[in-house]
Amino acid sequence: MKAPRTIREIREERGLSPVRLAADLDVSLTTIYNWETGKSEPRASMLREIADVLGVQMDDILFPAGQIPKAAA
């Protein structure tokens, strides 16, 4: 089992730009930035979409500074 990684780490491993991830998830680039830096967190339903787009399980995603989306906790 791999250790959880941040959205940014997974995105970069997959070779996706922030712009591409934003387009794939139909969110703004600012939203991606905010998730990756811990300024905000995705809703639980969006976390499922993020995991699907990145090809990982929701549990594989770690949030900066130990953040966990409230609805997913």
pLDDT, tens digit (0-9, with 9 covering 90-100), for 51-63:
999 999 999 998 7
Query: The whole model's pTM is what?
Result: 0.81
Q: pLDDT value at position 26? A: 97
Query: Which CATH homologous superfamily contains domain 9-57?
Result: lambda repressor-like DNA-binding domains (1.10.260.40)
For residues 41 and 30, the model is more confident at 30
Neighbours of 17 (CB within 10 A): 12
Q: Which two tokens stand for residue 66?
A: 């130990």
Tell me 40's DSSP state.
S
**Residue-averaged pLDDT of the chain:** 87
